[in-house]
Amino acid sequence: MTDASATPVLDRFCLDGKVAIVTGASSGLGVAFAQALAEAGADLALGARRTDRLSDTVDLVGSIGRKAVAVGTDVTSPDACERLVAATVAEFGHVDVLVNNAGVGTIVPSTRELPDDFRSIVDINLMGSYWMAQACGRVMHPGSSIVNIGSVLGLTTTAMPQAAYSASKAAIIGLSRDLAVQWTGRKGIRVNVVAPGYFPTEMTSDGLETGYLDSLVEQRVPVGRLGYLHECAAVVVFLASDAASYITGAVLPVDGGLLAT
């Protein structure tokens, strides 16, 4: 066992020479994750269904001085996930970090939710994360990191009818723990979960417009505000980096204290 304590602490957060894949990189937190990883030194492969918007993220990464490739990806297709990973290896030679960010959510009373709608949420959020992890797990080398994006709704409720979303995010926690046990010791791949609270994104826009999130923040978020995108992105960089080399199978909330209430 090698003790890397001689490495200066700030250097352990550096991702120079690393290659990261970010799914759902066309908007919101996905863009913030790509930007932060690039600022830490990584080159990026960006996946999303909305390929027209990926070009903006590619340009953002380029403005930071890092390289990026965009690949249209529907994570519900295992073949599409394999193509994203293959394109990453073809462009950069390796994959060191996966950020499983692609996800969707709905607010539907459970007695009205259609079976196909429920399946669609689980297919994207849970199955998509698994297919991407599986594809990356086949090519990643020891020292690699998978960061699955969960949610505080995998651990609590906020009185909104989101059964499919909450179920999928809770399942991501179980999936990540299992993969961490399977892969960390045998393959040297760490697997962790970031559980964001509420951030201003497309997914939360309805709640912001109705004022529901303002009320929720007032009642249940000790910090007293929504999160800033960069606050969640910094945690992703931490888990992706060697600074988190002794962390695997963990769930790290970034929620302003919501889970404490």
Which active-site residues does the annotation give? 165
DSSP string, the chain: ----TTS-GGGGG--TT-EEEEESTTSHHHHHHHHHHHHTT-EEEEEES-HHHHHHHHHHHHHTT--EEEEE--TT-HHHHHHHHHHHHHHHS---EEEE---------TTT--HHHHHHHHIIIIIHHHHHHHHHHTTPPTT-EEEEE--GGGT---SS--HHHHHHHHHHHHHHHHHHHHHHHHH--EEEEEEE---SSGGGHHHHHHTHHHHHHHHH-TT-SPPPHHHHHHHHHHHHSGGGTT--S-EEEESTTGGG-
